[in-house]
Structure 1
Amino acid sequence: MLRIPALCALFALAPLASALELKPLAVYRSGFSGGTEIVNVQASSMRVIVSNSAEGLVDILKLDPAGDLSRIARHALVEKGTGEITSAIFHPSDDLFAICVRDRDGLKNGRVEFRAAADGALLGSVEIGVWPDSLAFSPTGDFVVVANEGEGYVRDGDGFRSGEGSISLIDLRQGVASATHTLIQLPDLAGVAGTTQSEHKRLLERVIDGEEMKIPFGTSPEHIEPEYVTFSPDGAQAYVSLQENNAIAVVDVLQGKLAKVFGVGTVRHAADIEDDGAYAANGELFALREPDALSVSADGRYLLTADEGDTDPKIAKTKAGLPSGGGRTISVFAADSGELLGDTGGQLDQMAAKAGVYPDGRSPNKGSEPEGVVSFDAFGKRLAVATLERADALALIDLQQPAQPKVLQVVGAGEGAGSGDLAPEGLSHVEHEGRHFLVTGLEKSGNVALFELVE
């Protein structure tokens, strides 16, 4: 365990345009070389759940406000070769957590397991859709929504076949043992404004029978890939990113149905698009946003997207002038209408460069790569924090003017930030007695980093 002041020397900080600052507090080391991907904090107990997809287990940590992360339990839940834990989350108040597990057969249904936090005992299991990738509890814990990505591909004659993407809604109002499941199917997105269309000529990189292949991507349900789930503060809506489809699905939770799907469009901003050993934003990025994580502001008015990207950007180098994949931005939408209000433009990469962690080798392909995002109010301001997977860093963002979000700081997520060896992915925020903590899973290092937002 590393703690301040020794830890502070390991982090590179960008110059601040605000009195607010993300400060490193501690690093938890799992003992594994990687796989610490998804994290979630239960505010009532200050416990952190960390999934390790490679090892088939979850760790339960204690977050000590004094500046420590320590393991209090480890639960081995999925035997290697039988499936994969893709996400884990604490119930908002009860002494249990949920995981989603994808089957080893990429075309078979996955499941959600509800387990006791103390010993990992199975409390209930619900079969859901194909290849689940993310899940979330509603704020009261009455519902769980799962993004079933369905991204597994198999050969089918001269072509390929994939499971259909879908959304699972699990009703827990009668308790875990009596949970009921509704599978929400998604429509063909042909003609839906702002979404990925056939004329974009997208390609996906997928591994089939051990071989990396590039798969043509369309608009039909088998090509819809739900990625991440978040709820509105009142729990009435769930928002699900359809990353490769460049869209957001909105679920009416109480009605148990799809309310709408809206496209998130493209970005144009100055960017470094050349791998030449130095940061220089002298090119123009034209790209589909392709959002990964989502977050809703504390007042429920704004929906934020982390515009990571996934489809093959090499197609953009053709003379057709097609958009590349990944906006390299945090974008702000009106939560009720889906109207775009603003985005961070080239600020994330720019601030990463000032902090000395910009990954220039990724300049032709998604840059710093924003992956996770959380939004919250603190110290009288509306804020967000994002993980920058390829820059090995976190970004602090001021949302006081939603049409002009401002990146205040980029801070390295640990020793060696900027090398690509950390890969912060999952991100969780918790407020405790007026203090604000951020926890992130560093997928490539096997570590978990703890930060505090301070004035």
Structure 2
Amino acid sequence: MRNFGISLLAALFILTSCENDKGNENNQETEVNENVASFKEIGSITIGGEAAAEISAYDETTKRLFTVNNSGTNQIDVIDLTDPTNPVKLASISLTTYNGASNSVAVYEGKLAVALESTVNKQGNGKVVVFNTSDYSLIKEITVGALPDMITFSPDGKFIMTANEGEPNADYTVDPDGSVSIIEVNKDYAVTTLNFAGFASELTTLKTKGFRVSKKASSFAADIEPEYITISADSKTAWVTLQENNGVAKVDLASKKITSLFGLGYKDFNTAENGIDVSDKDGAIAFNPWKLKGLFMPDAIASYTVSGTPYFITANEGDAREYDGYADIARLKNLTLDATVFPNAATLKADASMGRLNLISTEGDTDTDGDLDELISFGARSFTIWNGNTGSLVFDSKNDLDKRSNDFGTYDDNRSDDKGSEPEAVVVAKMGNKNILFVGLERTDTVIVYDITNPSAPQYLQSIKTGDAPEGLLFVPASKSPNKRSLLVVSSEGDGKVKFFQPDLL
């Protein structure tokens, strides 16, 4: 029996989705009766090959979808979504003149913001370019930190934020500071870029909470690598994932200051409910407990509020540092284990056991004698709900994502030695009186849907087959959707497809 499944009655429950319709002059509500456990594919479009469809953003004013396309060109593809069952490519916005490659897009009321890493010098400052969604004319070009990897508007449209990853070059001789940029839209796009140097003195304490700084780091600020941002519904607070550092930063938008860093700790895989498949060579898919820990290392992040308490949700993908000049990943069979802690080391090193499991090679030598006393892997193979004020763990999905994928027939055993189903994306949507979570799994080509109205007891709703390697999830509420129906948009970088899903009406 799954430890947080859903009853048959709950699986079939029905919601009324009531949302404000900005287009209604009488400010009445648009009522859409939808079964949130019944999302089905209604349309699809292919815009290119691999890397063609990573992230998408929807503009309500023009009923257009804007999708990153880096499959061979450097552009944003524009898709007409007037009829989501028949999406049509309208145009492309070329980005070659801006000397940057697009990583992310966001839209707010007729403005399209694009995050561009420099193609002249990847370790140099990046850009945000803002276009008019109706005629694609340039509104503003803004300099931000190095390698802006994700961009978003605040819900009130007053701010644009970027997570500037600041990755090092291949030989690790140049490593720019990771940073976040805050752009004030109503102040002629004035920008404030914040780094993390002020938290260097807290490193010892942060390490006790699982926060991680590379052994190759030139400085604390340079080692921090912001990945993804979520902003609270009141546009006052942002949370930023620091993936390689196993942390999350909290940002106050009014003061434009980073107020806290949260270390996310470790996940213990040595329990039945956290059991995972660690080998791609054992001839089976078996989720068992192992003497192993994982760093959460989240990629995407989302947020919501329940009874006045803010929560953020992370997709715990995990990520290694792999460069010509430095790498922190190695298979267990190639590492030296402490003979006292692991008297069965020879057995563990077999390919059909833990031998092929990828570990963080620079972690786990607790007594600094040159061998591993703990085994630490990349990612938690889960989604987690955290308290937004304290950073404390409220709920972790344990091994449910891998097990649900296996039940659904999409689990890829070839990834068992790495990061399993590899949770990549998370999006929270308000549907009626329920908070619904969509989790994108990059390696099982699946979106799994949960009711997270109660943050401490999520309920599984549905599994959805997607394109190859879903990277970006976007939820369009019924009030903004082109057909006035809730719409889930899934952009998949493996096959360049954008797919559209809607729930059944009652």
TM-score range, shorter chain: 0.7 to 0.9
Q: CA 1:59/1:183 → structure 2, altered by over 3 Å: closer, same or farther?
A: same
Deviations along 1:214-268, one digit per CA (max 9) or x if unpaired, are xx46871111100011110000011111011111111110111111111122222
Q: 1:140 to 1:22 in 2, by over 3 A?
A: same
For structure 1, the residue ranges without an aligned partner over 5 or more in a row are 1-13, 204-215, 415-421
2:185 is the alignment partner of 1:185: no
The superposition leaves residues 98-155 of structure 1 with CA deviations (integer Å, 9 ceiling, x where unpaired) of: 1011112122100100112233222111111111101110112111111010013253
Matching of residue 168 in structure 1 with residue 175 in structure 2 = no
1:24 correspondence with 2:41: yes
Give the deviation of 1:334 after TM superposition: 1.4
- Residue in structure 2 matched with residue 141 of structure 1 by the alignment: 157
- Quote how far apart the aligned CAs of 1:79 are: 5.7
**1:22 touches 1:396 (CA, 8 Å); kept in 2?**
no
The residue that corresponds to 2:116 in the other structure is 101
What SS does structure 1 have at the residue aligned with 2:55?
Answer: strand
2:466 corresponds to: 413
Partner of 1:426: 472
Structure 2 partner of 1:69: 87
Q: How does 1:200-279 map to 2 (within 5 A)?
A: 216=216, 220-268=220-268, 269-275=274-280, 276-279=282-285
Q: What's the offset of the Cα at 1:404?
A: 3.1
Partner residue, 1:401? 454
**Contact in 2 for aligned 1:359/1:367 (Cα 8 Å):** yes
Q: Is the 8 A contact 1:153 1:162 kept in 2?
A: yes
Counterpart position of 2:316: 307
1:327 aligns with 2:327: no
Aligned partner of 1:207 in structure 2 is: none
Residues 62 and 134, structure 2, Cα contact 8 Å, conserved in 1 = no
The residue aligned with 2:412 is 359
Give distance in 1, aligned partners of 2:411 and 2:104. Answer: 28
> In structure 2, how many angstroms separate the alpha carbons of the residues matched to 1:32 and 1:79?
23
Letter in 2 for 1:280: A
Residue in 2 aligned with 1:125? 141
Give secondary structure in 2 for the equivalent of 1:221. helix
Deviation at 1:379, TM superposition (A): 4.2
Runs of 4+ displaced beyond 4 Å: 14-17, 216-219
Give the structure 2 partner of residue 419 of structure 1: none
Which of 292, 295, 308 aligns to 2:302? It is 295
Flag the structure with higher strand content: 1
State the Cα RMSD in Å.
2.5
Matches of 1:220 and 1:306, distance apart in 2: 24
Structure 1 pair 289–453 and aligned structure 2 pair: CA distance change class (3 A): farther
Report if aligned partners of 1:227, 1:292 keep a CA contact under 8 Å in 2. yes
Residue of structure 1 aligned with 2:57, choices 40, 58, 64: 40
Distance 1:70 1:61 in 2: 5
1:176-210 Cα offsets, whole Å, 9 max, x none, are xx211111111336221434335xxx68xxxxxxx
The amino acid across from 2:486 in the alignment is H
Give, as a single letter, the amino acid of the residue that structure 2 aligns with 1:289: F
Please give the alpha-carbon distance, in whole angstroms, between the structure 2 residues aligned to 1:247 and 1:374.
19
Q: What is the CA–CA distance in structure 1 between the aligned matches of 2:442 and 2:106, rounded to whole Å?
A: 21
3-state SS of paired residue (1:331): strand
Structure 1 pair 194–220 and aligned structure 2 pair: CA distance change class (3 A): same
Residue in 2 that maps onto 1:371: 424
Query: What residue is the counterpart of 1:10 in the other structure?
Result: none
Retained in 2: the 8 A contact 1:374–1:384? yes
TM-score (norm 1): 0.84
Pick the aligned partner of 1:58 from 66, 76, 88.
76
CA contact under 8 A between 1:351 and 1:407: conserved in structure 2?
no
Matched to 1:143, the amino acid is: F
Deviations 1:12-71 (A, max 9, x none): xx9987121221111111144442101122345543211113421111223346633222
2:489 corresponding residue in structure 1: 439
> What is the CA distance between 1:371 and its match in structure 2?
0.6
CA contact (8 A) 2:47 2:69 kept: no
**1:426 deviation in Å?**
0.9
* d(CA) in 1 for partners of 2:126, 2:195: 15
Residue 358 of structure 1 aligns to a residue in which SS?
A: coil
1:425–1:108 distance in 2 versus 1, CA, 3 Å: same
Q: Deviations over 1:269-326 (max 9, x none)?
A: 1111111343210233520100111111265622111111002342369742232111
Shift of 1:338: 1.7
Q: Which moved more, 1:264-273 or 1:59-68?
A: 59-68
The alpha-carbon distance between structure 1 residues 45 and 380, as it changes in their structure 2 partners (threshold 3 A), is: farther
Compared CA separation, residues 34 and 106, structure 1 to 2 (3 A): closer
Larger Rg: 2
Percent sequence identity over matched residues? Answer: 30
Instruction: Check the 8 A contact 1:196/1:244 in 2, yes or no.
Output: no
Q: How far apart in 1 are the matches of 2:499 and 2:241? A: 25
Alignment check: 8 A CA contact 2:45 2:87 kept? yes
TM-score normalised by structure 2 residue count:
0.76
Distance 1:278 1:218, change over 3 A: farther
